[in-house]
C-alpha cells in the first residue's frame, strides 16, 4: 500500500531534518540573501505569527498552533487563514495587503518565494507602512495636540463611517447574539478567577459582580440594537496600533479567524478604540471620532450604552492580558499583569467599584 503523502510543513517531518534551524530564522536568512546582503531584516514575534520587515515590505508567517478558536497546524489551514486575512483587510487597507506568496524549499533545503521546490508554508505579503504615522506612536509623541493631527482623525472618521454604512448586517437574532456576549462573560470569569491571580481576586470579583448587574440591565438594550440592524460585520480589533494615519488612513490587522467576534455594534468598536486612546493619554480622540461617525451615520447611541461597551472591552482586554500568563513560557511576562490592572481600573471607574 502506498505511503500517505506527508505535509511538507508537518513538524514531525521537519524534525527529521538534520538540525535544521527554526523556520523563522531560515526565512530571515532567505530575505537577507534576496536583498543581496544589503538590507537588515527585522523580525517581530506575536502570539500567533512572525513578521519580517524589509525596507519596502512586510511578510507574515502564521505559527502552527491550535486553540479553542482556530487550528493552524495544517498547511491548508494556514493558506486559508492567510487568504481570509488578505480578503478582510483589503476592506480598509487595500493598498497595504499585496497578497499571499508561497514559501518554497528546494532539494538543497534553501528557501525561496514563489519559486521552484515544494511548498512548505504561505506568507502574507504587505507593503511596509511608516511607523511614525501609526496612531499609537503619534499619541505617544504628542497625546494632547488635536490641532496638529486632528484632521487625520477626521479623515479616519470619514473612512470608518463609509465602512460601517456598507458593512453587512448580522443575520443572527438578538437572542443568538446575546449568547456570544454571555460566552465572553463566562471566559472572563474563568481566567480572572484562576488561582494564579489570587492576590487580586477580591477586586476582580467586585468588578465582575458589578458588571454582571450592568450586563443584565443592558442586555435588552443590546437586543434592541440588534433588532434595529446595528450589529454588523466590523473590524473586530480596532486599536491604535492597527491604524496608520497616512493619506488616506489605513486600518489593518482585523480579527480574521472568527466572524462571530467581528459582529459588533459599530459604536461598540469605537468605544473600544476610545478606551485605548484614553489609556494612552489622548482623551480628546474618543469624543471627536464618535461624534464624527455619529454625524455620518445619522445616529448616536446614549452615553450609558457607550460606557457599557467601554467596560466590556476593558474586561476583554484584561482577560487577554492575564491569559498570556497562563501558558508555558509566556512572552514578556512582566508586561501583562500591570497592563491587565490598568484595564481593571478603567472598568472600575465606570462601574464605581473601589479597589
Residues 37 and 182 in one domain: no
Residues 153 and 266 in one domain: yes
The answer to whether residue 285 sits within a structural domain is: yes
CA distance 215 to 351: 11
> Which pLDDT score is estimated for 20?
81
> Which pLDDT score is estimated for 243?
98
Residues 252 and 117 in one domain: no
Residues 17 and 111 in one domain: yes
Phi-psi region of 229 (alpha: psi -120 to 50; beta: other; left: phi over 0): left
Asked which of 110, 128, 146 is the last residue of a domain, the reply is 128
The answer to whether residue 118 sits within a structural domain is: yes
Residues 209 and 62 in one domain: no
Residue 314: all three cell numbers together? 476593558
Q: Which domain holds residue 244?
A: 133-351
User: What tens digit of pLDDT does each residue of 99-150 get?
Assistant: 999 999 999 999 999 989 999 999 999 999 999 999 999 999 988 888 888 9
The answer to whether residue 37 sits within a structural domain is: yes
Residues 154 and 78 in one domain: no
Residues 238 and 257 in one domain: yes
CA distance 111 to 104: 6
Counted domains in the chain = 2
pLDDT averaged over consecutive 10-residue blocks of the chain (355 residues)? Answer: 43 53 96 92 95 97 93 98 98 98 96 95 98 95 88 97 97 88 93 97 96 88 90 97 97 96 97 97 96 98 95 97 94 95 97 88
CA distance 89 to 81: 12
User: Taking the chain, what is the end-to-end CA distance rounded to the nearest angstrom?
Assistant: 67
Q: What is the CATH number of the domain that holds 184?
A: 3.90.1200.10
* Strand ranges inside 214-331, DSSP E: 232-233, 243-244, 250-251, 263-264
Asked which of 128, 159, 189 is the last residue of a domain, the reply is 128
Residues 113 and 140 in one domain: no
Residues 347 and 211 in one domain: yes
The answer to whether residue 164 sits within a structural domain is: yes
Residue 138: all three cell numbers together? 503619534
CA distance 256 to 262: 8
Asked which of 128, 147, 175 is the last residue of a domain, the reply is 128
CA distance 315 to 189: 10
60 in Cβ contact with 50 (< 8 Å): yes
User: What tens digit of pLDDT does each residue of 291-312 get?
Assistant: 999 999 999 999 999 999 999 9
Collapse the DSSP code of 93 into the 3-class scheme (helix H, G, I; strand E, B; otherwise coil) and give the result.
Answer: helix
Residues 52 and 199 in one domain: no
Residues 117 and 255 in one domain: no
The tally of CA atoms less than 13 A away on the side-chain side of residue 345 is 8
> Which pLDDT score is estimated for 7?
47
Residue 40: all three cell numbers together? 537588515
CA distance 263 to 185: 16
The answer to whether residue 243 sits within a structural domain is: yes
> Which pLDDT score is estimated for 6?
44
The answer to whether residue 1 sits within a structural domain is: no
Amino acid at each position: 500500500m502506498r505511503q500517505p503523502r506527508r505535509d511538507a510543513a508537518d513538524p514531525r517531518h521537519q524534525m527529521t531534518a538534520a538540525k535544521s534551524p527554526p523556520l523563522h530564522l531560515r526565512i530571515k536568512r532567505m530575505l537577507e540573501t534576496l536583498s543581496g546582503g544589503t538590507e537588515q531584516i527585522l523580525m517581530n514575534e506575536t502570539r500567533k505569527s512572525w513578521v519580517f520587515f524589509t525596507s519596502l515590505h512586510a511578510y507574515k508567517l502564521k505559527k502552527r498552533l491550535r486553540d479553542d478558536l482556530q487550528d493552524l497546524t495544517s498547511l491548508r489551514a494556514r493558506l486559508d487563514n492567510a487568504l481570509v486575512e488578505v480578503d478582510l483587510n483589503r476592506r480598509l487597507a487595500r493598498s497595504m495587503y499585496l497578497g499571499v506568496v508561497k514559501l518554497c524549499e528546494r532539494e538543497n533545503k534553501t528557501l525561496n518565494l514563489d519559486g521552484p521546490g515544494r511548498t512548505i508554508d504561505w506568507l502574507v505579503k504587505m507593503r511596509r507602512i511608516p511607523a511614525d504615522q501609526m496612531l499609537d506612536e503619534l499619541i505617544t509623541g504628542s497625546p494632547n495636540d488635536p490641532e496638529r493631527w486632528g484632521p487625520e482623525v477626521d479623515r479616519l472618521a470619514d473612512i470608518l463611517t463609509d465602512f460601517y454604512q456598507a458593512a453587512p448586517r448580522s443575520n443572527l437574532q438578538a437572542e443568538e447574539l446575546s449568547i456570544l456576549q454571555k460566552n465572553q462573560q463566562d471566559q472572563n470569569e474563568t481566567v480572572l478567577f484562576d488561582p494564579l491571580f489570587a492576590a487580586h481576586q477580591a477586586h476582580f470579583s467586585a468588578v465582575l459582580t458589578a458588571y454582571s448587574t450592568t450586563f443584565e440591565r443592558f442586555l435588552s438594550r443590546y437586543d434592541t440594537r440588534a433588532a434595529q440592524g446595528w450589529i454588523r460585520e466590523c473590524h473586530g480589533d480596532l486599536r491604535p496600533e492597527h491604524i496608520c494615519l497616512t493619506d488616506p488612513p489605513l486600518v489593518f490587522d482585523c480579527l480574521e479567524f472568527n466572524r462571530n467576534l467581528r459582529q459588533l455594534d459599530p459604536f461598540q468598536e469605537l468605544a473600544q478604540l476610545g478606551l485605548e486612546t484614553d489609556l494612552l493619554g489622548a482623551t480628546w480622540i474618543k469624543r471627536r471620532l464618535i461624534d464624527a461617525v455619529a454625524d455620518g451615520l445619522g445616529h448616536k447611541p446614549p452615553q450609558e450604552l457607550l460606557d457599557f461597551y467601554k467596560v466590556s472591552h476593558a474586561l476583554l482586554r484584561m482577560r487577554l492580558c492575564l491569559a498570556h500568563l497562563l501558558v508555558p513560557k509566556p512572552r514578556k511576562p512582566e508586561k501583562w499583569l500591570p497592563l491587565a490592572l490598568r484595564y481593571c481600573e478603567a472598568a472600575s471607574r465606570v462601574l464605581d467599584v473601589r479597589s
